[in-house]
Amino acid sequence: MRVLGIDCGTERTGYGVIDTDGRQHQFVAAGCITSSTKDPLEKRLLNIAGGLRGLFSEYRPDYAAVEEVFFSVNAKSALKLTHVRGVALLTVAEASVTFAEYSPLEVKMSVVGYGRAEKAQVQQMVTAILKLPEPVKSEDACDALAIAICHACHLPMLALREQARRKVVA
């Protein structure tokens, strides 16, 4: 199965693509969709949507996952981030890909085993889990890979829930 993790941001939207069987994870791609801070928000959102559509077309993921919005001190930044999440969710829906979202705590727990882990710890574990020769340089791309790994770790449980739901319905 292929999972696309998306780390939403107005300047840099990170992405990470992995192949997984739910236990073993293999790196496919990672990077950032960048937008100029000089551009108005609507143009940045259009750029992000186009970049995400390109990723869905190129990598054809079975699943996509994003991090839930966490509330920060700066409400204006949180609102802009919410716009980017909306664009991400729209492109996921357009691609007809199964979607999931996780809190930052869930992502860190899945990857590091500690919900209050620092960025460097997440980067170190992503490198180890994916058996990369060197750490992913972009924090946004690394966070996106962590989101993809988090979803991959949840896939076996999600499959069991779906089987149980089908039995109840039948």
Q: Which domains does the chain have, with CATH numbers?
A: 2-169 (3.30.420.10)
Dump pLDDT digits (tens) for 8-33: 999 999 999 999 998 899 999 999 99
Tokens of 105: 């705590």
Strand partners, 25: 20
Sheet with 98-102, side-by-side order of all strands: 25-34, 12-20, 2-7, 63-67, 98-102
Catalytic residue among 7, 42, 94, 134: 7
Catalytic (active site) residue 19: no
State the pLDDT at residue 167.
75
Catalytic (active site) residue 21: no
What pTM was estimated for this model as a whole? 0.92
Rounded Cα–Cα distance for residues 28 and 16 (Å)? 8
Strand partners, 15: 6, 31
What φ, ψ does residue 44 adopt, rounded to 5°? -65, -40
Helices first, then strands: H and E counts in the chain: 5, 5
Catalytic (active site) residue 62: no
Dump pLDDT digits (tens) for 152-162: 999 877 666 66
Average pLDDT on 134-138 reads 96
Catalytic residue among 62, 94, 140, 143: 140
Average model confidence (pLDDT) across the chain: 92
Catalytic residue among 39, 62, 67, 134: 67
